[in-house]
Amino acid sequence: MNRDQQRKLARHVAVVGAGMSTFGMLRDRNSTDLFLEAFRDMTESVDNEFDPTAIDAMYFGNFTNDFFVSQSHWGAVLADALGHVPRPATRTEGACASSGLAFREAVFAIASGFYDVVLVGGVEDMSGRSTAEVAEGLALAAMPCEREVGFTFPGVFGVIAGAYFEKYGATREHLMNVTIQNHNNAELNPKAQLNRSIRKIMEDKTRYAADRGDPIPTWLDEKEFLRDAAANPVVASPIHLFDCCPISDGASCLLLVAEDIAHRFSDNPLHVAGIGQGSGRGLHAADDLTSFEATRQAAEEAYGMAGLGPDDIQFAEVHDCFSIAQIMHIEDLGFFGPGKGFRAIADGLTRLDSLKPINTSGGLKCKGHPVGATGAAQLVEVWLQLRQEAGRRQIPRDDLRIGAAHNLGGTGGTSTFTILERR
């Protein structure tokens, strides 16, 4: 066993509350409004009496509100909004993995023995910018050499998809399976941004065409709709519009405490069983374009700490910024072997009611991807599922005990993997 598989926390940590704002293009709310919405939702999820003044410290993930809304320094801004000044507040930045990092730092802060009650969250406010500006802002997280030759994020994942197709014989049809599945799950999630199934989108478009007196589209099924270049235009081959997550505003929030005091807050706390983090180097340095080194490292560390393996994870949220990413991650996390992920999805193994449900929330693709809020929001979904509180999208099993969330930043530059367990 190597040293990455042997790391343990000095003290155990539990999650006793979790909440999120609605995700969407929410121009009537700023970052502070969104965060307070998530905080209120979290507060309501704490089973027992919770006095917010008990919070010892705060860690907030935010990627680049500096660029999106010309405001940085979100630690202090949100601490003030919450009324927790002068308690310490720290902003973490790891591109789209920013709040995955916030969660991890909060766990360490408690495990060290220094704090007992820590608030974790994330926020991003993106939709006030044009699509071109958002793309430019997100590209700040690409590797410098990638930006210099003109890569966009869809472009990076276009290259990765091309490499995956070449290596394993997958096709665009397999990307469509991811899109269809995540839309189906999001339709059951009232907080999701794109909360219609592909079939519902087709029905709506058909009805609008009829209302306007336009020619009625005649798609036979979801895949024919997704093959229609007018309905689903190419962005960066082979990535099309419906392979991409949307531009989103939103916030997420969790309350972490030392495990020995967890029952003061919650009748049903979740144990932080494993946390891992890794870094990566970009496309030019990847020995294999179909796998992220950072994810493999994060997974190894988290599995080692938890004493668990991929087969023990009953369901997971993974960082599906693009459809191809979902396929890569379920392989890098060990749920399916290299080159087997696309077939597993095609065979229905990752559906809500199947062997290994993936992205029951709808994923980044459909729940939305306010980048700094995403990592913590994934853990909100794990919280809901493990506590049997996920409503219509609840995984239909009464033995749910272990779930996980995988967060990725940049073009694979940062990754976190977190395993939560109900005991």
Partner 1 sequence: MKGTGRLVATTCISVPPPALTKEGYGRSNPCCTGVVELDESVRVVARIEGVNTQDPDSISAGMPVEIVFHDAKMISRSKPVVTFRLRSVPGER
Does the footprint of partner 1 cover residue 173 (CB under 8 A)? no
139 makes contact with partner 1 (CB under 8 A): yes
Q: How far apart are CA 162 and CA 172, in angstroms?
A: 10
| Residue ranges of E strands in 34-113 | 57-61, 89-92
Q: Do residues 59 and 102 lie in contact, with contact meaning Cβ atoms separated by under 8 Å?
A: yes
Cα-flanking dihedrals φ and ψ of residue 365, to 5°? Answer: -55, -40
Residue 285 interacting with partner 1 (CB under 8 A): yes
Q: Which of 174, 240, 329, 369 is catalytic?
A: 369
Tally the C-alpha atoms within 13 A of residue 386's C-alpha that lie toward its C-beta: 30
Return the range that interacts with partner 1 (CB under 8 A); candidates 76-84, 160-168, 340-348, 386-394.
160-168
Evaluate whether 25 touches 248 at the Cβ level (below 8 Å).
Answer: yes
Q: Cα–Cα distances in Å, from 250 out to 28, 128, 302?
A: 12, 13, 27
3-class SS of residue 71: coil
| Residue with Cβ nearer partner 1 (166 or 267) | 166
Pick from 44, 80, 166, 214 the residue near partner 1 by CB under 8 A. 166
Which of 105, 116, 136, 312: binder of partner 1 (CB under 8 A)? 136
Which segment (2-10, 63-71, 190-198, 235-243) binds partner 1 by CB under 8 A?
235-243
Tokens representing 171 are: 């096709």
Sign of CA pseudo-dihedral 13, 320, 58, 32: negative
Radius of gyration over alpha carbons of the chain, in Å?
20
Active site residue 369: yes
- Shortest distance in whole angstroms from residue 285 CB to partner 1: 7
Q: Taking CB under 8 A as the rule, does residue 152 contact partner 1?
A: yes
Answer for which of 154, 274, 362, 410 binds partner 1 (CB under 8 A) is 154
Q: Which of 52, 88, 217, 282 binds partner 1 (CB under 8 A)?
A: 282
Q: Least separation, in Å, of the C-beta of 165 and partner 1?
A: 9
Restricted to residues 313-342, the positions that interact with partner 1 (CB under 8 A) are: none
Q: Which stretch binds partner 1 (CB under 8 A): 53-61, 103-111, 152-160, 332-340?
A: 152-160
Residue 151 binds to partner 1 (criterion: CB under 8 A): yes
Q: Which of 132, 218, 230, 353 binds partner 1 (CB under 8 A)?
A: 132
- Residue pair 19/40 in contact by the 8 Å Cβ criterion: yes
Q: Which of 75, 94, 238, 250 binds partner 1 (CB under 8 A)?
A: 238
239 binds partner 1 (CB under 8 A): yes
**How far is 155 from 160, CA to CA, in rounded Å?**
9
Q: What is the DSSP string of 342-396?
A: HHHHHTTTTSTTSSS-B-TT-HHHHH---HHHHHHHHHHHHHHHHTT--GGG--S
Distance CA 323, CA 244 (A): 7
Catalytic residue, chosen from 96, 244, 253, 321, is: 96
From the list 119-127, 259-267, 277-285, 307-315, the region that binds partner 1 by CB under 8 A is 277-285
At residue 25, what are phi and psi to the nearest 5 degrees?
-95, 95
- Give least dist CB 255 to partner 1, A: 39
CB of 172 to partner 1, least distance (A): 11
User: d(Cα 247, Cα 301) in Å, to the nearest integer?
Assistant: 31
CA dist., res. 151 & res. 192, Å (int): 29
Nearest to 369 by CA among 250, 265, 272: 250
Residue 147 or residue 196: which is nearer to partner 1 going by CB? 147
240 is catalytic: no
Q: Does the protein bind partner 1 through residue 217 (CB under 8 A)?
A: no
Binding residues (CB under 8 A) for partner 1: these are 131-132, 135-136, 139, 143, 145-152, 154-155, 158-163, 166, 233-239, 282-285, 289
Catalytic residues: 96, 369
